[in-house]
A and B are shown apart, each in its own frame.
Chain A
Amino acid sequence: MKKIFVILTLTAILLISSAIPAFAADISTNNGNAQVTVNGTYVTGTTAAEVISVDVAWGSMSFTYQDTDEGKWNDKTHKYDDVVDAYWTCAADANKITVTNHSNTPVEATLTFTKAEGTNIEGAFTETVGTANDGVMALATAVGTTYENAPSVTAYFNVTAGKITANGTLGTVTLTIVNQ
């Protein structure tokens, strides 16, 4: 009985041993060299959804039109003294627009100005980045940056032409975000 138990145990060990190679790397010989095939199993990962997240901050966007000051008539020179041409002005940073990218993708921010109906206002943007003041600003991805150091660009809007004769809306600035 004891012999039968020992035989059964040894048989079981042999069977288990023979099954192990099925789970391990294949081992073969080539000119006496042992070759081991290393297997890898691929498990599909998850792709992070593309989320656009940008901060947009702007100044009061309040502009003042100072109409022409004709000055004073000088009867000796027959000319006007102290003439001041009309001009547009605004408070410091009232015309500032800042865009900060917190997205996991680079984005392009484009600024355009559309004059209000019934006005002849024209405007343009001066950017702090880029080579041309075309209103187009590229922002790198926020991946690899800290929240405080997220890619950021600033542009200033200025009225370049046109006049008003009463208080009112000058137009609308549109910021278009395109993920790259």
Chain B
Amino acid sequence: MNNQKKLTAAIVLLSVLLVLVLLVTVWALFFRKQTVLPPDYPPRDTDSHMKPIPDDGGGTIETPEGGGAVNITYAAEVTISLSDKTAHLYYANPSRSNQNVAIAVTVGETVILRSGLITPGNMVTELPLLEGVEQKLVPGGYEAELIIYCYHPESGEKAMIDTRGALTLTVVDSIS
């Protein structure tokens, strides 16, 4: 009788263990978070609005060893159309730059747009506003700031130097 009880207890114990093992297996296969080390400089996508600069002069900028160089070319006037939620601007990263850049435009503390990467030899002439920004702007003029971030084209490492420039925004309902 005792042996029968022991056998039953062992079967129950083994069954419980089996269920536990199955649960752990299911969790490990489907629910466990991947322990991937996140990169310090994740790759960024190029901006879909990027297009080649016509008549890009080429050339190079003299760069100290191990450093970087970028040409920053932009128009200080930007027009924003509220109806199509788009900023019409001009920013170029000529091929003489050796850095990828990404730009952002701020009004006060509010970031109104961010670009993807603009690689050397390319420019953007329009960029979409960030979601909901069109509800914070009304037709009229705004003082704004352009921020340019530089990234190493291979490692993706952000350069120690950021650049800022003043912009004047003209916000309109629509551009005819």
Contact = CB atoms under 8 A, between A and B. Distances in A.
Interface string B46-66: 000000000000000111111
B48 to A, nearest CB: 24
Given A51-B73, A59-B67, A177 B61 contact: no
B160 A61 contact: yes
B172 interface: no
A60 interface: yes
Contacts of B165: 52, 176-179
A173 to B, nearest CB: 5
Q: Give the bracket for the number of chain B residues in contact with chain A.
A: 20 to 34
Nearest to B158: A172
Interface of A is mostly: strand
Classify chain A's interface size. 20 to 34
A88 interface: no
Nearest to B62: A57
Contact of A58 (B72, B161, B164): B161
Interface stretch (A11-19, A37-45, A93-101): A93-101
Contacts of A54: 71-72
Contacts of A55: 61, 69-72, 96
A174 B148 CA distance: 10
B73 A52 contact: yes
A58 B75 contact: no
B77 A49 contact: yes
B128 interface: no
B70 A56 contact: yes
B162 A175 contact: yes
Interface string B147-176: 000000000000111111110000000000
A175 B161 CA distance: 7
Interface of B: 61-77, 90, 96, 159-166
11 contacts: A51-B76, A51-B90, A52-B165, A53-B72, A53-B73, A57-B67, A60-B66, A172-B161, A173-B162, A175-B164, A176-B165
